[in-house]
Amino acid sequence: MAKKRVAIVGMGFGGLSAAKGLAGRGLEVVMVDRHNYHLFQPLLYQVATAGLEQESIAYPVRALARRWQGTRFRLGEVSGVDFASKRLLLEDGELSYDYLIVAAGSRTNFFGIESIERYAFDLKRLSQAEELRNQILLLFERASRETDPARRAALLTFVVVGGGPTGMEFAGALRELIVHVLSRDYPEVKTSETRIVLVEAASSLLTAMPAELRDYALHKLRAMGVEVRLDTRVTGADAEHVFLHGGEVLETHTLFWSAGVAAAELADRLGVVQAGGGRIKVLPDLSIEGHPEVFVVGDMACLMQDGAPLPMMAPVATQQGRHAARTILGCERGKEPQPFRYRDKGSMATIGRSAAVAVSHGFKFRGYLAWLVWLLLHLYYLIGFRNRLLVLMNWAYYYFSHERQVRLITGEVRKDSPL
């Protein structure tokens, strides 16, 4: 008798945890992704700021398939799903399934502002992190030769939009890169000439965290030299300007956008009920209406808990992936599906060297202790001993020397860049 097949779309945190939970349990598990690696997205900003190599935060999925019994990997772009015939539609073929877990993740939400989508940098893929690093280094190369003060100021101005963890972590890491590393690489450029502007539409940073941690993060960033603009909204951009609500214009060549995320484009092609941000409405057990064999987990899923949709975060995706795996195994044993409930273990964000904020089980941490916990947890959740070792060595080297090794310009200038 042929084994029942579980197809898993997306090898992010949700898809990976589902595959791990199903491995070796008597099912055929087919992992499908457009890339052949799992990407540890929380550290992408460190690739963009020359702190880590690209390869140290990615791990090949086929290496996991070798270790996980009953699993295999298929590289491919999913174009849709035929729910009636239980077929996953790929650009280069089809894949039948008995159970389907959709965990294709999210994309950056530009809120329909075409100019921002065209000119802003974002961080969702490895290639984007490399592109942003190239941009930063190229700007310093150009500024070191520029004699016009206005042009020089624009080259050395960096606008970061979004006061959540990603925006704050990137702004802090970029400031440290400039102060401790690029200031020595480019003696022609004074640190005082550089400007990092963090723009947030809300009245505080890290809105999901307690007030005292929000205040600490704000104070720390400003003390580092980051210009924080609260209650400020970006309305548009071009290659050399960022336009703010109220008419103010920032002259810059670098706009980094981290102001929101939406469900991956695949959600729009499934023909199912969607909620805000394109997320798919799921039943309490994470299945979709009318198709109990199809589960949606992670950033693509919209599930209400305690009166609000669950956040689009890695811990939610990981727990949902595990739940979907348990539900499928239970269905094979004739058990009724159980509702999913997210167990919030806390959240954290790093601001810079020896500075972070964290909240867990009602306890609040800040400063060195929170930073140390942040380091240890990120090392723990990285996949692969080599990756953990490389990241640890990079962090230790930077901590003691204030040096970052990955200052490589490895690509071409963006076509829409004036450089």
Q: Which of 169, 200, 289, 293 is catalytic?
A: 169
CA-CA distance, 42 to 45, in Å (whole number)?
Answer: 7
Q: Report the 3 state secondary structure along 25-55.
A: CCCEEEEEECCCEEECHHHHHHHHCCCCCHH
Q: Is 63:36 a contact under the CB 8 Å cutoff?
A: no
Q: What is the DSSP string of 196-229?
A: EEEE-SSSSSSTTS-HHHHHHHHHHHHHHT-EEE
Angle 340-341-347 (CA atoms, 0-180°, nearest 5)?
Answer: 130
Q: Is 155:139 a contact under the CB 8 Å cutoff?
A: yes
State how far the alpha carbon of 133 is from the alpha carbons of 165, 181, 301, 409, in Å: 19, 14, 32, 7
How many residues are recorded in the chain? 419
- Catalytic residue status for 169: yes
CA-CA distance, 400 to 316, in Å (whole number)?
Answer: 35
List residues with catalytic annotation: 169
